[in-house]
């Protein structure tokens, strides 16, 4: 399919199908997409994906930040041919879309990360595999079939485990390492708290760990210590406790029946909770990571220009502007509001390092605005998970396809022929609305 006709081709296919009574399985409108996903997801699953920190002000601010910008179309430009591609770390991508790392995808669909990989491969969009995936990274890489992926790293408190995860990411063909900096602790997330639900405590979303030889060693050592100590008192079982044990057993490698009577599944959960993050992580630790890998290193969670400058000075290969979709810090600055300052800091430091962006992207116009404000590429977070919940791999593909098509048409309708045309002068600030008199 010629790139210049992508948007129109997708649009025409939807209308032609509609003429025969077939409507899209996945809504093309972001609000309807979320509403449809809510109907099919479990209460716990939807709360985990849709929820944010505290009052959820940061998540609302992420979306509202886009409303402060308006696109200024230009006329009488030949837009017959358009190019939405971008080069990142030596590879040309068909679009500026990346699949942002989202954990515990099994709560949206049993296919989880493998289904996302199939959708990503179909739309030629690079998947950033999460450390909190429901499927080991090697299996996801095989499903992608060499179409390209990055690996997102949560920096564990165990050095050997960090080294092992990085080594595995290299071995399975990751093209970049994305280090998430904003999750030294989990944010205060009322939707999950009110349900008393932490998926990792049920053995969900820890497949990267349970498949890792270093983590397996840590689990064996914990089991051995417990066997040599005093017998722990067994609390009276409750239906919830039984359900948790069953979840641990199903999600742990091996036979579920055997796991039900084995100590390893519970020990794996306890070990994960011990080693998940390193709150003591500082800039002084970055050289250690650099010594472990030759992959491009991207720092995710940068919101302040000074941190961006420091990242460039530290020699990182990319900066990722994100407030974790509002999931970590309540009343955080909106990621889009932080983007121009970070871009200016990176470029002002003389760096051409890509500036990736996520948090709040819901439609093609959002992508347009983020690129115009200096983003090199954008991560798609919740929308692809909602597509996964609605229609598995096909749903992921459809969400990505729709975003690509909408961006392509928006380029054509605004007099742009490539992403290079998306500069700040394509935007104006929305006029402030006066508040009514008290």
Element (H, E) at 1: none
φ, ψ of residue 66 to 5 degrees: the values are -70, -30
Picking from 106, 135, 137, the residue whose alpha carbon sits closest to that of residue 388 is 106
Our CA dihedral for 361, 364, 369, 375, rounded to 10 degrees, sits at 70
Our CA dihedral for 328, 330, 333, 339, rounded to 10 degrees, sits at 20
φ, ψ of residue 311 to 5 degrees: the values are -65, -45
Kindly name the residue from 93, 149, 252, 324 that is annotated as catalytic. 324
Q: Helix H segments across 41-158?
A: 43-50, 57-67, 112-123, 137-144
Question: Is the Cα dihedral 234, 238, 241, 246 positive or negative?
Answer: positive
- 204 DSSP 8-state letter: T
Q: In a 3-state reduction of DSSP, which class is residue 108?
A: coil
Cβ contacts of 39 within 8 Å, gap of 6 or more: none
The answer to whether residue 197 is catalytic is no
Active site residues: 324
């Amino acid at each position: 399919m010629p790139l210049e006709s992508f948007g129109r081709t997708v649009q025409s296919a939807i209308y032609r199908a509609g003429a025969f009574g077939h409507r899209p399985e996945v809504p093309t409108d972001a609000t309807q997409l979320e509403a449809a996903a809510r109907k099919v997801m479990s209460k716990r699953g939807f709360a985990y994906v849709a929820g944010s920190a505290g009052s959820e002000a940061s998540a609302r601010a992420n979306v509202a930040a886009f409303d402060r910008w308006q696109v200024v179309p230009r006329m009488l430009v030949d837009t017959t041919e358009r190019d939405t591609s971008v080069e990142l770390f030596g590879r040309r991508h068909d679009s500026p879309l990346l699949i942002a790392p989202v954990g515990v995808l099994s709560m949206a669909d049993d296919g989880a990360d493998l289904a996302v990989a199939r959708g990503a491969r179909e739309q030629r969009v690079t998947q950033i595999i999460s450390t909190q995936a429901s499927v080991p990274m090697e299996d996801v890489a095989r499903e992608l079939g060499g179409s390209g992926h990055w690996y997102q790293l949560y920096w564990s408190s165990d050095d050997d485990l960090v080294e092992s995860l990085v080594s595995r990411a290299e071995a399975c063909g990751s093209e970049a390492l994305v280090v998430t900096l904003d999750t030294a602790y989990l944010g205060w997330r009322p939707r999950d708290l009110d349900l008393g639900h932490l998926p990792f405590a049920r053995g969900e979303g820890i497949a990267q760990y349970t498949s890792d030889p270093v983590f397996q060693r840590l689990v064996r050592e914990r089991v051995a210590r417990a066997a040599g100590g005093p017998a722990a008192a067994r609390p009276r079982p409750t239906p919830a406790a039984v359900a948790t044990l069953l979840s641990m057993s199903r999600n742990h490698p091996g036979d579920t029946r055997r796991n039900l009577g084995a100590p390893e599944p519970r020990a794996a959960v306890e070990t994960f909770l011990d080693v998940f993050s390193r709150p003591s992580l500082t800039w002084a630790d970055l050289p250690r990571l650099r010594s472990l890998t030759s992959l491009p290193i991207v720092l995710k969670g940068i919101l302040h220009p000074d941190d961006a400058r420091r990242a460039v000075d530290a020699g990182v290969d990319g900066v990722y502007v994100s407030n974790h979709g509002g999931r970590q810090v309540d009343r955080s600055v909106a990621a889009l509001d932080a983007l121009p300052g970070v871009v200016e800091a990176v470029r002002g430091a003389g760096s051409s390092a890509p500036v990736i962006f996520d948090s709040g992207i819901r439609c093609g116009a959002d992508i347009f605005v983020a690129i115009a404000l200096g983003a090199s590429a954008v991560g798609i977070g919740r929308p692809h998970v909602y597509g996964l919940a609605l229609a598995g791999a096909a749903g992921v593909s459809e969400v990505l396809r729709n975003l690509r098509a909408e961006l392509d048409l928006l380029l054509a309708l605004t007099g742009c022929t490539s992403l290079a045309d998306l500069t700040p002068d394509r935007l104006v600030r929305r006029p402030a609305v006066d508040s009514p008199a008290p």
